[in-house]
Structure 1
Amino acid sequence: MKKILQISNYQYPHIGGIEQVARDIADSLLDDKEIEQKMICFNEDAQDGDYLCHRKETVHDSVDGVEVIRCGCFAKVASQSLSFTYPHELKKVLQDFAPDIVILHYPNPFVSSFLLPMLPKNTKFILYWHLDITKQKVLGKLFHGQTLHLLERADKVIATSPNYVDGSPYLSQYRAKCEVIPNCIRMERLTPTATIYKKAELIRKENEGKILCFGVGRHVPYKGFTYLVKASKLLDDRFRIYIGGKGELTDSLREEAKNDPKIQFLGRISDEDMIAYYLACDIFCFPSITKNEAFGIALAEGMYFAKPAVTFTIPGSGVNYVNLAGVTGIECSNGNVQAYADALTKLANDPELREKYGKAAKRRVEEHFMYDGLKRAIWDLIAEM
């Protein structure tokens, strides 16, 4: 029996890229009766139906049959949750559960400061590297030594793309330990129903004769939606651009787009509506601009629906590993609004190119970024530890 402890920032019902990967890993190991799992994370205010979590509470519950230890938080500094109960809960689970393998989802500097001295020498350690600390530059410098210590201690370092290994000043120093396991999409979440197909048909009917562009994600600086809004002003009236999601920049984006009837903001949308827009659109827009966008699950999802993608060049990011320039879509120089508008216009003017890139996009996702591929990779990883 192998015991595995995952250390994630948060967990469902809080939704985020790291949390989804942690959940996918846990799901992928459920069929193996020789593996016992637990997960520890911070708590966060979140709800999905009757599933309700409160940030300040420390509770033990379960997600998909795996015990989750949620540690109550009293504050958040530079996107990092702080908790009085975390050190005690981490020490307890390391002692009582005695995991054979610990998987730490990085970055998580507060937790790392406790984990490194607590982690037994004979415990195998997998450092699952989601992204470099780039936004909080002071924090990155402060924890430079800790990051090197984590990499030295790790038995394996998992990156989500070869681009990130090459572009990270840390991972590039530890290539021998690195293994690439791309993030994945889940077909069961994206399977259209008859209702969804009808919604997609209605969207198309309401925009007859238009070139539909769709982008979705949190409205935060690194997602680059301001560049999409600016690019829209350079497009003709054939275009209709739908932007899903919400965030700190929503109000400013709306203000910037207020005189542009081509832009429609959808707010936070359900999976059902999101799939309908994936189906209805002609082009998928993914305008992220920094390495904080390490991979792009939404990008892979849009491509899965056979839509050509338009992205920016982000050195060291997996975005340009997911969308291949001139194969599955068009890549524009970073932050170049005119180039982005030109790319959209090129695709609008050439339906055959849209179809060619769209088919290649779907094929790339099916070959490289599906759940079954991640599951096989995780099984192989755990077997060799």
Structure 2
Amino acid sequence: MLRIAISMTRRANQLKVLQFYRTYFPDTYGGVEQVIYQIARGAIVRGVDMEVLSLSRRGNEGAHIVDNHRAYRAPLDFEIASTGFSLQAVRRFAALAREADVIHYHYPWPFMDMVHFVTRVKKPSIVTYHSDIIRQKGLLQLYKPLQKKFMSSVDRIVATSPNYLATSETLQTYASKTTVIPIGLDETSYPAPKAALIEKWRAEVGDQFFLFVGMIRYYKGLHILLDALQGTDFPVVIVGAGPVETELKRQAERLGLTTVRFLGALPDEDKVALLHLACALVFPSHLRSEAFGVSLLEGAMYAKPMISAEIGTGTSYINVHNETGLVIPPSDPPALRNAMRFIRDNPERAREMGRRGRVRYETLFTANRMAERYVALYREVATEHRSRN
């Protein structure tokens, strides 16, 4: 991550925004963290003073610099059902929020809702709605009263794609104050791999492989991908780590798959080198927990044809069937196998899909476009708040 010196002096009349989420760089590098980073990076250059607060197992409360903005870590005390809690985060949030003009929350994180009310900070607020709560159905029923109160209290809700807004029961309840701002990426924030590194990977994995990049979680559908590979010779490279990685390696061994490479988590430069070499990006997420798919968007940014599943989320906003790639039914190994075969057997059509994906990225999904719209929203809710007071 690029780190540069920044001025800590806030200019007169400069809008100050605090983003709040359960984790952030450099502790973790997931999709939501990437979104927070891209928003912060773009907002700063548009005259917004941006800070980020997250929890950390490192227990470091001091400010550190991530690229061009300040980030604070409060020590993680404990977790329940993937929800982190921190007593010191309550105090830190209250102090930072008092100095902020706008609070920007990232949902879902029930502890965040609690902090919102416990601290009684009366500042304009927006929440980016990244995903419905899918897995913890029982706990969701207990959480719903707090969720409803929280969603009703914020000034604006942001959905990351029109697809998710249309298919989320929760978002439909608050459609009147929900706007769509698609996630965007800044290509210049990604490293340009050296030719020697690309050649190193070409010698190791070739240049006609299908690539998966992402956290290896239950909803990513990699078990479906492995089932689809039975009886084929399709080379597949899997970049990432996560809680079901060992289980997937056992499945690959059990199925006798010799063309699958698990590379684990890699530095960004290696990841980009592999994106340059891959023939296509395969993204078999099969559950709505995959609300957008930042890794899929990276594939579009690097002009790669994509294969994804129709799960009613932003994945089918990034990847348009027969235009930028192929969209198949979820949890369908034969359909996935056929899609991979089509990409392999029709290289010119696949390259054209990749080119169209790149155009779609440039039109809809740049970080510049995303940051511009968030800054406009920050200013809008801040102006509304001043007019009411």
TM-score, normalised by the number of residues in structure 1: 0.89
Structure 1 distance, partners of 2:343, 2:67, is 42
Secondary structure, counterpart of 1:143 in structure 2: helix
Match of 1:109 in 2: 110
4+ residue runs over 6 A deviation: none
Secondary structure, counterpart of 1:257 in structure 2: helix
Given the alignment, which residue of 72, 76, 100 partners 2:75?
72
Q: Does 2:337 align with 1:323?
A: no
Give CA-to-partner distance per residue, 1:308-345, whole Å, 9 cap, x none.
11111112x11111111111011111100000001111
Secondary structure, counterpart of 2:91 in structure 1: helix
How far has the Cα of 1:153 moved from its partner?
Answer: 1.2
Structure 1 distance, partners of 2:337, 2:68, is 47
User: 296-305 or 60-69, which moves further after superposition?
Assistant: 60-69
Structure with more contact order per residue of length (Cα contacts < 8 Å, sep ≥ 6): 2
Structure 2 distance, partners of 1:10, 1:109, is 14
Aligned residue type for 1:322: I
Match of 1:291 in 2: 288
Q: Residues 189 and 94 of structure 1: is their aligned pair in 2 closer, same or farther, counting only changes over 3 Å?
A: closer
Structure 2 distance, partners of 1:265, 1:322, is 25
Match of 2:245 in 1: 250
Given the alignment, which residue of 376, 382, 385 partners 1:380?
376
Q: Residues 230 and 90 of structure 1: is their aligned pair in 2 closer, same or farther, counting only changes over 3 Å?
A: same
Q: Percent identity?
A: 27
Given the alignment, which residue of 291, 308, 325 partners 1:311?
308
Match of 1:19 in 2: 33
Q: Do the aligned residues in 2 keep the contact of 1:127 with 1:150 (CA within 8 Å)?
A: no
How far has the Cα of 1:117 moved from its partner?
Answer: 4.5
Given the alignment, which residue of 87, 92, 95 partners 1:89?
92
Q: Do the aligned residues in 2 keep the contact of 1:222 with 1:289 (CA within 8 Å)?
A: yes
TM-score, normalised by the number of residues in structure 2: 0.88
Q: Do the aligned residues in 2 keep the contact of 1:288 with 1:312 (CA within 8 Å)?
A: yes
Give CA-to-partner distance per residue, 1:113-158, whole Å, 9 cap, x none.
121243444x211011111111221222211111111221121111
Match of 2:170 in 1: 170
Structure 2 distance, partners of 1:86, 1:199, is 41
Q: Do the aligned residues in 2 keep the contact of 1:201 with 1:280 (CA within 8 Å)?
A: no
Q: Do the aligned residues in 1 keep the contact of 2:43 with 2:372 (CA within 8 Å)?
A: no
What's the C-alpha RMSD, in Å, of the aligned pairs?
1.9
How far has the Cα of 1:218 moved from its partner?
Answer: 1.5
Q: Residues 83 and 357 of structure 1: is their aligned pair in 2 closer, same or farther, counting only changes over 3 Å?
A: same
Q: Which runs of 5+ in 1 are unaligned?
A: 45-53
Q: Residues 127 and 354 of structure 1: is their aligned pair in 2 closer, same or farther, counting only changes over 3 Å?
A: same
Aligned residue type for 1:248: P
Q: Do the aligned residues in 1 keep the contact of 2:97 with 2:103 (CA within 8 Å)?
A: no
Trace 1:194-205 onto structure 2 (pairs within 5 A).
195=194, 197-204=195-202
Structure 1 distance, partners of 2:199, 2:97, is 53
User: 60-69 or 357-366, which moves further after superposition?
Assistant: 60-69
Structure 1 distance, partners of 2:36, 2:243, is 26
How far has the Cα of 1:207 moved from its partner?
Answer: 6.0
Secondary structure, counterpart of 2:321 in structure 1: coil
Q: Does 2:274 align with 1:260?
A: no
Given the alignment, which residue of 3, 22, 34 partners 1:9?
22
Structure 2 distance, partners of 1:148, 1:274, is 40
How far has the Cα of 1:378 moved from its partner?
Answer: 1.7
Structure 1 distance, partners of 2:165, 2:346, is 35
Aligned pairs, how many?
Answer: 365
Match of 1:357 in 2: 353
Q: Which runs of 5+ in 2 are unaligned?
A: 1-12, 382-389
How far has the Cα of 1:204 moved from its partner?
Answer: 4.2
Match of 1:41 in 2: 54
Match of 1:339 in 2: 335
Q: Do the aligned residues in 1 keep the contact of 2:30 with 2:215 (CA within 8 Å)?
A: no
